[in-house]
Amino acid sequence: MFQRLSKVLVVFFCVSAAILLAANWWLTDYLESPLKLNRSLSIKVPAGTSLTVQAKQMEKEGLLKWPEVLTLYGRLSGQTGIKAGEYLLQPGVTPRDLLAKWVAGDVIQYSLTFPEGLKFSDWLSLLGNIEKLDHVLTPGNQQQILEQLGLEISHPEGWFFPDTYSYSEGETDRDILLRAYRRMQDVLAEEWNNRSPDLPYDAPYEALIMASIIEKETGVPEERGQIAGVFTRRLQKGMRLQTDPTVIYGLGDAYKGNIRRKHLRQHSDYNTYLIKGLPPTPIAMPGRGAIHAALHPEDGDSLFFVAKGDGSHYFSATLKEHQEAVREYQLQRRSDYRSQPK
């Protein structure tokens, strides 16, 4: 009797082991077999969707066999918390890969670049043309938008760091702006803490104003320190900055591409030909290079500069030398004159 029972148990365990091995082999084969894809495909997992629902949706679309098996595997392996978003599936992706993507939130990443020197209105225009972003900011004046962002600043110009920002579908224009704002806070604080001594700024915001002017004055990175040196020395000597980009900013929509003598005589808080010191706010979004230059101006004796027409500038220490440079480079402009480098 005992021997017969032993034989039965041996057969039972052998059969059970064989079944388990076969099941394991089948499951492994299922998990490692590519989905029916002959091209790249993007799919969306809506917010709040469970693994069970998403797996069945994949079956309806003819992409996944036996969704219940994938769901069971997810439960047994503790991988049921899938994340919403847009996912890119490439030919060769397997059910195991698919589940790993969903759990990790490995969604499609897009990028948006804000070049240095743009105004806040330019940023809003760029954001407004991005289809993959959710547009939650209600169009209005700049102060209303700042309120929607929850930022306690009186003027948006200069406060958002120009850079390339990655985002996924479902993120908002508000998300991007807040990330850019925090980035500018970090960069400005870092540069301010490592500034040169004896600068004519009482606060980081004044350095940010100066950086925005430097950003608009030159597109030649090597010149930023020289430009900063000129403006710093003029402030220290009580001279007016006399920089065209601030005048242009103050003109707003009235500026049509050419700055004229009447514009230089027109009163504005940004007309640095008439006011002393810095304008009240930045005039653009400066990059790190311009911020660094504003806080590390180059030594020297130049107090003037003029565009040469090839994108660079001629620097002068005296008014006489500057006037001669103006005659050479401005009054007799070359046919291929340009204020910015190619």
**212-266 pLDDT tens trace:** 999 999 889 999 999 999 999 999 999 999 999 999 999 988 888 888 888 888 8
How much is the pLDDT for 264? 86
Which of 75, 108, 141 is at the close of a domain?
A: 108
- 74 token code pair: 């997810």
| DSSP code string of 237-258 | TT-----HHHHHHHHGGG--S-
Continuous segment of H or E residues that includes residue 67 = helix 67-76
Q: Is 215 exposed, middle or buried (0-12, 13-18, 19+ CB in 10 A)?
A: buried
Q: Is residue 19 part of a domain?
A: no
Give mean pLDDT, residues 72-100: 91
Let me know whether 203 and 306 are in one domain: yes
Which of 169, 188, 207 is at the close of a domain?
A: 188
pLDDT tens per residue, range 290-337: 999 999 999 999 999 998 888 889 999 999 999 999 888 877 655 444
Q: Cα–Cα distance between 238 and 256 in angstroms, integer?
A: 31
Let me know whether 224 and 321 are in one domain: yes
Q: Is residue 17 part of a domain?
A: no
Its pTM stands at: 0.83
> Which amino acid is it at 175?
D
Let me know whether 326 and 219 are in one domain: yes
What value does the CA radius of gyration of the chain take, rounded to a whole number of Å? 32
Let me know whether 103 and 121 are in one domain: no
pLDDT tens per residue, range 19-30: 545 555 556 778
Confidence of residue 31 (pLDDT cuts 50, 70, 90): confident
How much is the pLDDT for 336? 46
How much is the pLDDT for 140? 78
Let me know whether 296 and 214 are in one domain: yes
The count of structural domains within the chain is 3
Let me know whether 101 and 114 are in one domain: no
Mean pLDDT computed over every residue of the chain: 88
φ, ψ (nearest 5 deg) of residue 199: -95, 150
Let me know whether 210 and 290 are in one domain: yes
How much is the pLDDT for 26? 57
Let me know whether 274 and 155 are in one domain: no
φ, ψ (nearest 5 deg) of residue 25: -65, -45
The fraction of the chain above a pLDDT of 90, given in percent, is 63
| Domain span including residue 172 | 110-188
